[in-house]
């Protein structure tokens, strides 16, 4: 499917340097951050401008070659594994911040802009872009939109979809489609912006994104509540939400994760704590003071044995950086790290955490649990070695059970990591057969040759 003629066409359209056919290059883009079998693409291309991106899409469609767009490949659901070979399209060179509009509070970006660089550029202009995936130092905004990424601030500020005002994208014919735009209100036509958010590269290729910006909070207060009982910590999460306080961030770490992260980051986390809650409230200074006092009171009432309030921004950042390093820290412990994304209604967090303990014991596995507990989004992380076939079977059974429990508790298969290849087989358990068939019909109409990221989300 990646014939000599197609490669020649790519070279003409993009220049020879931007068409990578060497074996090492092709292997480098055969996998992503999910623990799945790699698949080697026939060729890797790197458009350096938006027009080049459009040409690539059309050339692939004309040749019937599968096309997998890749931002930074940090997705955890196999979204960038080119399962049926074909062409991997890198967006790294499409990395211009086209506009940060401080009058109308929006920005326009190319899809390859790195999330943290964008957030810093916005901050430098006195504004705020809240979505902050743990991978923000490397992930791209195109990848964030295509995965509808969340982050530590999702509880109060929402996820990527809450900031996407519009998108430009290429359809399979290489036609440019424009949806949404600069205005806060825009109901023109079908909600194609909504369709593209979370579409994981299966329905079109994003070329420009309009993002909403907000004023930064005037004040913030971060604290760490230390528990010697996991159940008490998880019940505190539910209690804070039930008390109608919405912290910007409310993160949970179990003892295994605390010790592993501390070993890696030396941020001063209490390694003897059974569980930690990292909580930040932000907003108007008076409200911050009031909310922080209420949160402290609730933590104590639910058995926190100590509460440490960050003295200054440096102390606060140290702890947040440590939290963001949780996955990388856990990944050092064993050859294979399986990070899951099961999400439940917040009131069910205690039940989910209890169930995870039971699953770890039942399948004799090490599971470190951390995550965005305030929005019900936990990341049970199984540390294993995929080369051990017997253990790997237990891991697969444990993962099946994690999702069964999450769904039984009224939860979802994915809070933020998408479905990709990894969870396509579970989709019907959460939705219906009809949902899958409807999605496939939509895909067939928009991508009749099935070239856009085949096999992702709705399976074959």
Ligand X SMILES: Cc1cc2nc3c(=O)[nH]c(=O)nc-3n(C[C@H](O)[C@H](O)[C@H](O)COP(=O)(O)OP(=O)(O)OC[C@H]3O[C@@H](n4cnc5c(N)ncnc54)[C@H](O)[C@@H]3O)c2cc1C
Query: CA 308, CA 11: separation in Å to the nearest integer?
Result: 58
Q: Which is nearer to ligand X, 113 or 240 (CB)?
A: 113
Handedness of CA 263, 265, 266, 268 (dihedral sign): negative
Residues 142-161 that bind ligand X (CB under 6 A): 142-144, 146-147, 149-151
CB of 196 to ligand X, least distance (A): 8
Listed in sequence order, the DSSP H helices in 49-138 are 50-63, 115-124
- Using CB atoms within 10 A of its CB, is residue 302 exposed (0-12), middle (13-18) or buried (19+)? buried
Give the binding range for ligand X (CB under 6 A) out of 141-149, 279-287, 299-307, 401-409. Answer: 141-149
Binding residue for ligand X, selected from 30, 61, 91, 236, defined by CB under 6 A: 91
Using rule CB under 6 A, residue 348 touches ligand X: no
Binding residue for ligand X, selected from 18, 30, 61, 80, defined by CB under 6 A: 80
CB of 204 to ligand X, least distance (A): 7
Handedness of CA 128, 131, 132, 138 (dihedral sign): negative
CB of 164 to ligand X, least distance (A): 12
C-alpha dihedral over 414, 69, 191, 198, to 10 degrees? 10
Residues 14-33 that bind ligand X (CB under 6 A): 32-33
Nearest residue to the partner ligand X, using Cβ: 143
Using rule CB under 6 A, residue 201 touches ligand X: yes
Using rule CB under 6 A, residue 72 touches ligand X: yes
Using rule CB under 6 A, residue 375 touches ligand X: no
Strand partners, 283: 219
Q: Which residue has the tokens 């003409």?
A: 12
C-alpha dihedral over 241, 246, 248, 250, to 10 degrees? -10
Tell how far CA 216 is from the center of its chain. Answer: 22
Strand partners, 336: 384
Q: Which is nearer to ligand X, 135 or 236 (CB)?
A: 135
Q: Which is nearer to ligand X, 76 or 261 (CB)?
A: 76
The answer to whether residues 453 and 69 touch, using CB atoms and an 8 Å cutoff, is yes
CB of 165 to ligand X, least distance (A): 17
Q: Which is nearer to ligand X, 161 or 182 (CB)?
A: 161
Q: Which is nearer to ligand X, 279 or 288 (CB)?
A: 279
CB of 194 to ligand X, least distance (A): 15
Using rule CB under 6 A, residue 205 touches ligand X: yes
The answer to whether residues 35 and 77 touch, using CB atoms and an 8 Å cutoff, is no
Residues 283-322 that bind ligand X (CB under 6 A): none
The answer to whether residues 82 and 63 touch, using CB atoms and an 8 Å cutoff, is no
CB of 451 to ligand X, least distance (A): 12
Closest CA to 143 of 198, 182, 97: 198
CB of 84 to ligand X, least distance (A): 14
Element (H, E) at 250: strand 249-254
Using rule CB under 6 A, residue 55 touches ligand X: no
Using rule CB under 6 A, residue 76 touches ligand X: yes
Give the binding range for ligand X (CB under 6 A) out of 17-25, 64-72, 183-191, 425-433. Answer: 64-72
The answer to whether residues 60 and 87 touch, using CB atoms and an 8 Å cutoff, is yes
Using rule CB under 6 A, residue 73 touches ligand X: yes
Handedness of CA 231, 232, 233, 239 (dihedral sign): positive
CB of 449 to ligand X, least distance (A): 17
CB of 241 to ligand X, least distance (A): 19
Give the binding range for ligand X (CB under 6 A) out of 18-26, 69-77, 119-127, 443-451. Answer: 69-77
Query: CA 418, CA 385: separation in Å to the nearest integer?
Result: 24
CB of 427 to ligand X, least distance (A): 15
Convert residues 380-419 into a mask of x (bound to ligand X by CB under 6 A) and - (unbound): ------------------------------------xx--
Tell how far CA 334 is from the center of its chain. Answer: 22
Give the binding range for ligand X (CB under 6 A) out of 14-22, 184-192, 197-205, 405-413. Answer: 197-205
Looking from the CA of 276 toward its CB, the CA atoms found within 13 Å total 30
What are residue 77's phi and psi, to 5 degrees?
Answer: -125, 15
Using rule CB under 6 A, residue 70 touches ligand X: yes
Q: In what order do the strands lie in the sheet with 205-212?
A: 97-101, 106-109, 205-212, 164-170, 176-180
Give the binding range for ligand X (CB under 6 A) out of 15-23, 139-147, 228-236, 244-252. Answer: 139-147
Which residues are at the interface with ligand X (CB under 6 A)?
Answer: 32-33, 68-76, 79-80, 91, 111, 133-135, 139-140, 142-144, 146-147, 149-151, 200-201, 205-206, 327-328, 416-417, 453
């Amino acid at each position: 499917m990646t014939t000599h003629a197609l490669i020649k066409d790519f070279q003409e359209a993009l220049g020879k340097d931007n068409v990578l056919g060497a074996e090492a290059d092709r292997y480098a883009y055969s996998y992503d951050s999910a623990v799945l079998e790699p698949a080697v693409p026939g060729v890797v291309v790197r458009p350096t401008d938006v027009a080049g991106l459009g040409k690539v899409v059309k050339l692939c469609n004309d040749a019937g070659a599968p096309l997998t767009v890749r931002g930074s490949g940090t997705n955890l659901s196999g979204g960038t594994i080119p399962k049926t070979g074909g062409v991997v399209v890198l967006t790294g060179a499409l990395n211009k911040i086209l506009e940060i509009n401080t009058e109308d509070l929006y920005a326009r970006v190319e899809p390859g802009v790195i999330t943290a660089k964008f957030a810093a550029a916005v901050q430098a202009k006195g504004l705020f872009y809240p979505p902050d995936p743990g991978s923000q130092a490397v992930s791209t905004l195109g990848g964030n939109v295509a995965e509808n990424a969340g982050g530590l601030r999702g509880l109060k500020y929402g996820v990527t979809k809450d900031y996407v005002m519009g998108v430009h994208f290429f359809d399979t014919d290489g036609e440019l489609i424009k949806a949404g735009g600069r205005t806060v209100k825009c109901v023109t036509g079908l909600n194609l912006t909504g369709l593209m958010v979370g579409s994981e590269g299966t329905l079109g290729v994003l070329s420009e994104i309009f993002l909403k910006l907000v004023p930064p909070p005037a004040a913030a207060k971060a604290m760490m509540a230390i528990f010697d009982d996991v159940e008490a910590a998880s019940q505190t999460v539910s209690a804070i939400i039930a008390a109608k306080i919405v912290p910007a961030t409310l993160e949970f770490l179990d003892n295994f994760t605390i010790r592993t992260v501390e070993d890696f980051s030396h941020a001063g986390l209490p390694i003897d704590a059974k569980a930690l809650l990292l909580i930040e409230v932000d907003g108007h200074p008076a409200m911050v003071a009031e909310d922080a006092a209420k949160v402290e009171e609730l933590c104590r009432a639910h058995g926190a044995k100590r509460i440490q309030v960050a003295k200054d921004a440096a102390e606060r950042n140290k702890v947040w950086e440590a939290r963001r390093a949780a996955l990388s820290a856990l990944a050092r412990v064993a050859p294979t790290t399986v990070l899951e994304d099961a999400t439940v209604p917040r009131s069910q967090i205690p039940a989910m955490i209890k169930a995870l303990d039971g699953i770890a014991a039942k399948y004799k596995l090490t599971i470190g649990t951390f995550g965005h507990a305030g929005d019900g989004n936990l990341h049970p992380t199984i540390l294993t070695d995929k080369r051990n076939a017997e253990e790997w079977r237990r891991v697969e059974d444990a993962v099946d059970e994690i999702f069964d429990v999450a769904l039984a508790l009224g939860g979802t298969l994915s809070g933020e990591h998408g479905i990709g290849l990894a969870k396509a087989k579970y989709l019907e358990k959460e939705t219906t057969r009809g949902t899958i068939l409807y999605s496939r019909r939509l895909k067939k109409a928009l991508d009749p040759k099935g070239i856009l990221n085949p096999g992702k989300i709705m399976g074959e």
